[in-house]
Structure 1
Amino acid sequence: MLRIAVLVSGSGSNLQAIIDEIEKGSLNCEIKYVISDSEKAYGLERAKNHGIETIALDRKIYKGKVSDEILNLINGQVDLIVLAGYLSILNGEILRVFRNKIINIHPSLIPSFSGAGMYGIKVHEAAVKKGVKYSGCTVHFVNEEVDGGEILLQEVVPVFVEDTAETLQKRILVEEHKLLPKAIKLISDKKVKIENGKCYISK
């Protein structure tokens, strides 16, 4: 069984999607920890409601040491780290120890509207401002480059002329809730291989 740690910063709706799939029996994995960089993140409450151990490492207190603290707590305890709306940037030793074992969901079709400073509603504001006809979401592996790791899965969402950042965000979030559990299942089923900067998915 795949052991995972889910990192959240806000409401934790993607976390809830993972929990729901586990409880339905669709995902053969266990959430060992839910970790947040904010004590006020509602995602922590979601985890507690399902008996999952929670850890709050407030970024205002730990500053640049959050990644090291996470590594100290979970090293040897989990097989995969899932960033589900986690706003802090992982850095340092954790990226080496968990090489190819950290995934993130980003609310655009990478490489569009990604990289430093592109997170949350800002991504959708940029997409609407640019007038793109399609956006979506991407699950990718995490490395030293922000949003720069290998792309595992993507889902396309239409952007309408009348869209605001908020309406686009809601439409994409629906797809995020499907895509992230799907990515975890592929990894759990050992169907993902990384080679020469690309992800290959076996049948």
Structure 2
Amino acid sequence: MEAPIRTTILISGNGTNLQAVIDKVSAGQLPAKLIRVLSNRKDAFGLERAKRAGIPTLYHNLVKYKKQHPATPEGVQLAREEYDAELARLVLQDQPELVVCLGFMHVLSPKFLEPLAEAGVRIINLHPALPGAFNGANAIERAHAAWLEGKINKTGVMIHNVISEVDMGAPILVKEIPFIKGADDDVHAFEQKVHEVEWGTVIEGIDMVIKEINENKTRALGA
């Protein structure tokens, strides 16, 4: 029996996707060990969900770093890089094998990505859009508006590898969501529909990546 994969989850908000993962792990249906939930927002309810499940939490915010630099584009860039370098250090302290971004509203720079790549840690992200369609924030609302304008007839949800370009890493799992006239006219109802697809996609995507990590371990042992 393979040991559960040590997994860190990064969040910024309510944590409904996190809850889906917690539930599957505690039911023994996802071979992950959730070693920490980290948020860049202090009031993220996902931190409370983690505490209730007995998972260690951490709050790490960018504001402190911004205060140490002038409010110029260069200063902001420096602050973000320092924040990311410290984020990498904090995450790597726990020795995860997998980092999952679930609604983590912070663009990760090479200062975070490179140390994790060197440590052999996979980083994946959930994004509520089809590959290359609506990168960045508010993807569901932007897709819905495009549909109302007659520009598209479907959107979706994907799990993808994380690179420094926002939501541009190679897709691991993609689920299409066609728009249905009449049923999907209200954006809030449609958001809920997308979230429900996300909960299943998150579990399936993490499971796929865990299998890959285990296969690579087995290969490395056999080499």
TM norm. shorter chain > 0.5 = yes
More strand by share: 1
Deviations 1:152-182 (A, max 9, x none): 0011112133423322211111111011111
TM-score by length of 1: 0.86
The equivalent of 1:200 in structure 2 is none
2:90 maps to 73
Amino acid at match of 2:186: T
1:125 is displaced (CA, Å) by 2.1
- The counterpart of 1:148, out of the listed 168, 172, 176, is 168
Q: Which residue of 2 aligns with 1:82?
A: 100
Matches of residues 9-88 of structure 1 in structure 2 within 5 Å?
9-63=12-66, 64=80, 65-75=82-92, 77-88=95-106
Give 1:133 shift: 1.6
Aligned length: 188
1:97 corresponds to which residue? Answer: 115
| Residue aligning to 2:140 | 124
Structure 1 segments (4+ residues) deviating >3 Å: none
Please give the alpha-carbon distance, in whole angstroms, between the structure 2 residues aligned to 1:127 and 1:48: 34
Per the alignment, residue 185 of structure 1 pairs with: 207
Secondary structure of 2:212's aligned partner: coil
Deviations 1:52-90 (A, max 9, x none): 000001232244233222211121510111000110111
Q: Comparing both structures, which one devotes a greater share of its residues to helix?
A: 2
Which residues of 2 match residues 151-190 of structure 1 at below 5 A? Answer: 151-162=171-182, 163-190=185-212
Q: Which runs of 5 or more structure 2 residues have no equivalent in the other structure?
A: 67-79, 216-223
How far apart, CA to CA, are the structure 2 residues paired with 1:23 and 1:82?
17
- Name the CA distance, whole Å, in 2 between partners of 1:128 and 1:62: 36
Structure 1: distance between partners of 2:189 and 2:62: 29
8 Å contact from structure 1 (residues 105, 138) kept in 2: yes
Larger CA Rg, structure 1 vs 2: 2
> Are residue 3 (structure 1) and residue 23 (structure 2) matched?
no
- Structure 2 counterpart of 1:135: 155
Aligned in 2, Cα 1:78/1:152: closer, same or farther, shift over 3 Å? same
1:38 and 1:59 in contact (8 A); partners too: no
